[in-house]
Amino acid sequence: GAVVSQHPSRVICKSGTSVKIECRSLDFQATTMFWYRQFPKQSLMLMATSNEGSKATYEQGVEKDKFLINHASLTLSTLTVTSAHPEDSSFYICSAQTAGLADTQYFGPGTRLTVL
Amino acid sequence: ILNVEQSPQSLHVQEGDSTNFTCSFPSSNFYALHWYRWETAKSPEALFVMTLNGDEKKKGRISATLNTKEGYSYLYIKGSQPEDSATYLCAFPPPYSGAGSYQLTFGKGTKLSVIP
């Protein structure tokens, strides 16, 4: 149980285009989903937290107009990288959580984004 | 800003050897510590959630201990096998301030390679 899928696993796009990444909880309802980014040799850095039906909360330094997050249902959240640039190339990974103080976050397998 | 440190950064051991590594975290306002195993091309997998000082948890050949007063947790692997090769992450939530979700701050991980 507690499987999270993420699609696509890898995407290459041209500079200036927008890319949408989907994160789905397959066998449970996720009250909260998180989006992280990881640069080489760095830790997972939280970008934003989204609760179903409400606006996402972005971490300091993360542009909300560039990284659009939609959490339309209890099983789906999407991250859209708008007008992508080479510096947005990174590994993006989502996680999903059910309500509770010490509940585990269940992670997707991640998406490798390369912007040319 | 919470600081979660993991050491060593990487580790090579022979098959059959036992090994351990460390996660250090702020000891004030402790709520929980999470350990994850992240194999290449897979989703990070939750290993343990530890909440009490002196906690010791075990899953097969992997165990973890927790010292909240001094702010560290050890992860032990007994009789390492090649399939244990992965990056082991620890993560720590900020002081809990309300109902619902909480974010995790991750360490950079310890990359374990088990040589057959």
Nearest CA-CA distance, residue A26 and chain B, Å: 14
User: Which pLDDT does position A92 carry in this prediction?
Assistant: 97
Nearest in space to A63 (alpha carbons), one of A43, A40, A81, A36 = A81
Q: For residue range B81-93, list pLDDT tens digits in order.
A: 999 999 999 998 8
Residue A86 vs residues A15, A60, A68, B40, B66: alpha-carbon distances, Å: 7, 21, 18, 24, 41
Residues 6+ apart with CB under 8 A from A85: A15, A16, A115
Flag whether pLDDT at A73 surpasses 70.
yes
Q: Are A67 and A58 in contact (CB under 8 A)?
A: yes
Q: For residue range B34-68, list pLDDT tens digits in order.
A: 999 999 989 999 999 998 899 999 999 999 999 99
How many Cβ pairs closer than 8 A exist between chain A and B? 59
Note whether B47 contacts A: Cβ–Cβ < 8 A: no
